[in-house]
Amino acid sequence: MHLRLVRFAFMAVALTAPAIAAEKVALSVDVSKAGAKIDRNIFGQFAEHLGQGIYEGIWVGPDSTIPNTRGIRNDVVAALKALKVPNVRWPGGCFADEYHWRKGIGAQRTVTLNSNWGGVTEPNSFGTHEFMDFLDQIGSEGYFSVNVGSGTPREAAEWLEYMTTDQPTALAKERAANGHTAPWKVAYLGIGNESWDCGGNMTADYYLSQLKIYSRFVRNFNPTQQDKEQMLKIAVGPGGPETEWTETIMKAWQHHHWSWDINGLSVHSYTVPRWPPSYKSVGFGEAEYGQILKTTLQMEDLVSKQSAVMDKYDPQKKVALVVDEWGAWYAPLPGTNPGFLVQQNSMRDAILAAMNLNIFARHADRVRMANIAQMINVLQAMILTDKEKMVLTPTYYVFKMYVPFQDATFIPVAFSAGTYTHGDISLPRVDAIAAKDTNGKLWLEVTNLDPNEPVEVEASLAGIAAKSAAGETLTAPGVDSVDTFEAPNTVVPKPVVAKVQGGKVALKLEPKSVTVVSVEQ
């Protein structure tokens, strides 16, 4: 009896052994089936006056011992230039609807209270001129949020005139007296922020009435910009999957008068399994890893639902869906000011970033702009600083690896994702997108969500004569591995081996990894 049990157990192990071996996933990519352009603006950033996101993260002042150019950190500028940041959303966030731009210009700045984030003082030393200088240094464009909650249409209109007119008005002369004679380009304008909550607790109908007024009076006066491209106006949209707000704005837009218009509708969605945020950003296990990734996949349903409503009123997709706040939101690190939203950034967050960027790419016909929250020292940041020290995060490296996808043409990828299971959590084992860049080169991204097992990928390529492939992979010892000031290279990209034979690309993905390869022809 005992021997028979042993034989039975051996047979069971033998039968189940293939499932334990490296999963094999077949991808099918047909380059001739081109989709929408993956707008580079989906890789946008967000910098709010919150915690050390601005002060210390970007601005140290011209007298600082930290190397800087006109008060802006040189190391941060260099790191962000490598990401080819398309746009930066500023000054908020909730801060935007309490921000009065005049307090941030001129030689004498007004010190105010930042009641939203930590109850600390706001020196206003980083204002319009400093932000524009920062954009120029990193080679990006500005996405301004005007104050609808506590401001006025006049205040917003005068801010735009101050920034963009080249006529000899009093505001233009004031701008010149403050150090900038030529008008600036304002590429994107957000009319309010979270008007359903911290931006004024408005109903959709009331916000719509404000949107019409602001959209009418907030003008771009830059003649060179008007000749080439308009300033795009972005309305406040919903803060979740509910569609009532989107219905209200889009229905009005469908029959809008020439005197007001919008080019985008925002949506905010953070990866937060429960509120208030209680999941840890360090020292977590596989269960928490799975739960966070399961939650972040809700972005697909949210984008699909909001897009469907927009399609009803805007079948030509003139209005972009702008996901201008997204990312992981965890419990504040112990010992930090809870209002500063300080958290670490792990390998889990790199995978989370890749999954969201892939969702946006698959909806590139409607999602044409997005802004991760936030750029430096706040929430799911690209960069962490501590006085003169700086470290790049795993999320930073994902954005850097995805640079070739900026303005590339989306190429559909067919594949069976398989399943990764832990406890009662089931997730797709792999995720993948492909795109052809402006030079015609094919790029393939594949994410292995499984934290324990490798995946062997074989991608069949049609419409291209592939000769070779090369790329990078990002992985780490654990799902909770992080880069620190003391150990900055724990989670960094490394070369990946990709073989091309018979029109197929073969590569082996390490567990919990994000991989990007280019295909030469």
Residues taking part in catalysis: 194, 325
Report which residue type is found at 297: L
Give 1's contacts (C-beta < 8 A, 6+ positions apart). Answer: none
- Look-up: residue for tokens 């809700």? 298
As to burial, measured by CB atoms within 10 angstroms (0-12 exposed, 13-18 middle, 19+ buried), residue 494 is: exposed
- Cis preceding linkage at 276, omega within 30: yes
Helices (H), 74-127: 74-81
Chain Cα centroid distance, residue 444: 20
User: Which of these, 266, 360, 239, lies nearest to 322 by C-alpha position?
Assistant: 266
H-helix or E-strand spanning residue 495? strand 494-496
Closest CA to 85 of 135, 133, 132, 151: 135
Alpha carbons 56 and 272: distance in angstroms, whole number: 27
Q: How many CA atoms lie within 13 A of 242 on its CB side?
A: 8
Residue 403 CB partners (closer than 8 Å, separation 6+) = 43, 83, 84
Return d(Cα 251, Cα 249) in angstroms, integer.
Answer: 6
User: Identity (one letter) of the amino acid at 12?
Assistant: A
Q: With 0-12 CB in 10 A as exposed, 13-18 as middle and 19+ as buried, what is 27? A: buried
d(Cα 288, Cα 296) in Å, to the nearest integer?
A: 12
Q: Do the Cβ atoms of 256 and 319 come closer than 8 Å?
A: no
